[in-house]
Amino acid sequence: MSTTKYVYDFAEGNRDLKDLLGGKGANLAEMTNLGLPVPPGFTITTEACKVYLDEGRVPESLEQEIAAHLADLEEAMGRKLGDANDPLLVSVRSGAKFSMPGMMETVLNVGLNDESVAGLARRAGGNDRFAWDSYRRLIQMFGKTVCDVPGEAFEHAIDDAKAAKKVRNDVDLDADDLRRLVDAYKKIFKDHAKRDFPQDPREQMDLATKAVFDSWNADRAVLYRRQERIPADLGTAVNIVAMVFGNLGEDSGTGVAFTRDPATGNQGVYGDYLQNAQGEDVVAGIRNTVSLDELELIDKKSFDELMDIMAKLEHHYKDLCDIEFTVERGKLWMLQTRVGKRTAAAAFVIANQLIDEGLIDLDEAMYRVTGGQLAQLMFPAFDTSGSPKRIAKGIAASPGAAVGKVVFSAAAAVAAADAGEKVILVRRETNPDDLPGMIAAQGILTSRGGKTSHAAVVARGMGKTCVCGADEISVNISGGKFTVGGLTFAEGDVISIDGSTGEVYEGEVPVQPSEVVQYFEGSLAVDSSPLVTAVHRIMTHADEKRRLKVRTNADNGDDSGRARRFGAEGIGLCRTEHMFLGDRRELVERLILAHEDDERQAALDALLPLQRDDFAEIFRAMSGLPVTIRLIDPPLHEFLPPLEDLAVKVAIAEASGRDPGHDADLLAAVRRMHEQNPMLGLRGVRLGLVIPGLFAMQVRAIAEAAAQVRGEGGDPRPEIMVPLVGAVQELETVRVEARGVLDEVASRTGVDINALIGTMIEVPRAALTAGQIAEAAEFFSFGTNDLTQMGWGFSRDDVEGSFFTRYLDLGIFGVSPFESIDRDGIGRLIRIAVAEGRATRPDLKIGVCGEHGGDPDSVHFFHEAGLDYVSCSPFRVPVARLEAGRAVLDTAGSDSR
Ligand code: PEP
Ligand code: MG
Query: Considering only CA atoms, which residue is closest to atom 6 of ligand 1?
Result: 783
Q: SS3 for 145-178, per residue?
A: HHHCCCHHHHHHHHHHHHHHHCCCCHHHCCHHHH
Ligand number nearest CA of 870 is 1
pLDDT along the chain (897 residues), means of 10: 86 96 97 97 97 94 96 95 95 91 84 97 91 95 94 93 89 93 97 96 97 90 73 93 92 92 83 83 63 92 96 95 94 94 88 96 96 90 89 86 95 93 94 84 90 73 83 91 95 94 94 90 94 98 98 95 97 93 88 91 95 96 97 89 91 93 90 90 95 96 98 97 98 98 96 95 98 98 98 88 79 87 97 98 98 96 97 96 93 41
Query: Considering only CA atoms, which residue is closest to atom 1 of ligand 1?
Result: 783
> Mutate which of 687, 762, 820 to test ligand 1's pocket (most atoms within 8 Å of Cβ)?
762
CA of 787 to the centre of ligand 1 (A): 8
Q: Which pLDDT score, from 0 to 100, does residue 897 have?
A: 35
**Does the annotation mark 536 as catalytic?**
no
Cα–Cα dist 706/714, whole Å:
9
Give the pairing of strands 236-242 and 41-44: antiparallel
Ligand 1 shell residues, CB under 6 Å:
573, 575, 633, 762, 783-786, 849-850
Query: Considering only CA atoms, which residue is closest to atom 4 of ligand 1?
Result: 783
DSSP-derived secondary structure for 274-306? EES--HHHHHHTSS--EEHHHHHHH-HHHHHHH
Which ligand 1 atom minimizes the distance to the CA of 452? Answer: 8
Nearest to 90 by CA among 63, 102, 72, 65: 72
Q: Which pLDDT score, from 0 to 100, does residue 2 have?
A: 53
| Ligand 2 (single-atom ion) residues, CB below 5 Å | 762, 783, 786
Q: Which pLDDT score, from 0 to 100, does residue 894 have?
A: 39
Query: Considering only CA atoms, which residue is closest to atom 9 of ligand 1?
Result: 575
Ligand number nearest CA of 724 is 2
CA of 109 to the centre of ligand 2 (A): 62
Sign of CA dihedral 893, 894, 896, 897: positive
Cα–Cα dist 346/675, whole Å:
52
Q: What is the DSSP letter of 478?
A: T
Q: What is the pTM of this model?
A: 0.80
Q: Which pLDDT score, from 0 to 100, does residue 376 have?
A: 85
Residues near 859 by Cβ (< 8 Å), separated by ≥ 6? 371, 548, 853, 870, 880, 883, 884, 887
Q: Which pLDDT score, from 0 to 100, does residue 456 have?
A: 80
Query: Considering only CA atoms, which residue is closest to atom 8 of ligand 1?
Result: 785
Report whether 885 contacts 546 (CB < 8 A).
yes
Q: Which pLDDT score, from 0 to 100, does residue 281 have?
A: 66
> Mutate which of 458, 579, 760 to test ligand 1's pocket (most atoms within 8 Å of Cβ)?
760
Cα–Cα dist 754/758, whole Å:
13
Cα–Cα dist 653/663, whole Å:
9
Sign of CA dihedral 589, 593, 594, 600: positive
Give the pairing of strands 106-110 and 90-96: antiparallel
Cα–Cα dist 598/595, whole Å:
9
Phi, psi (5° rounding) for residue 388? -65, 160
H or E stretch covering 644: helix 643-655
> Mutate which of 786, 870, 873 to test ligand 1's pocket (most atoms within 8 Å of Cβ)?
786
**Measuring CA to CA, how many Å separate 55 from each of 49, 58, 59, 60, 631?**
10, 8, 9, 11, 59
CA of 573 to the centre of ligand 1 (A): 9
Give the pairing of strands 487-490 and 90-96: unpaired
Which ligand 1 atom minimizes the distance to the CA of 553? Answer: 5
CA of 784 to the centre of ligand 1 (A): 7
**Does the annotation mark 454 as catalytic?**
yes
| Catalytic-role residue among 454, 541, 637, 860 | 454
CA of 850 to the centre of ligand 1 (A): 5
CA of 536 to the centre of ligand 2 (A): 34
Report whether 790 contacts 783 (CB < 8 A).
no
| 90-96: strand order across its sheet | 7-9, 41-44, 236-242, 90-96, 106-110
Which ligand 1 atom minimizes the distance to the CA of 573? Answer: 5
Give the pairing of strands 717-722 and 626-630: parallel
| Catalytic-role residue among 321, 466, 468, 849 | 849
CA of 679 to the centre of ligand 2 (A): 9
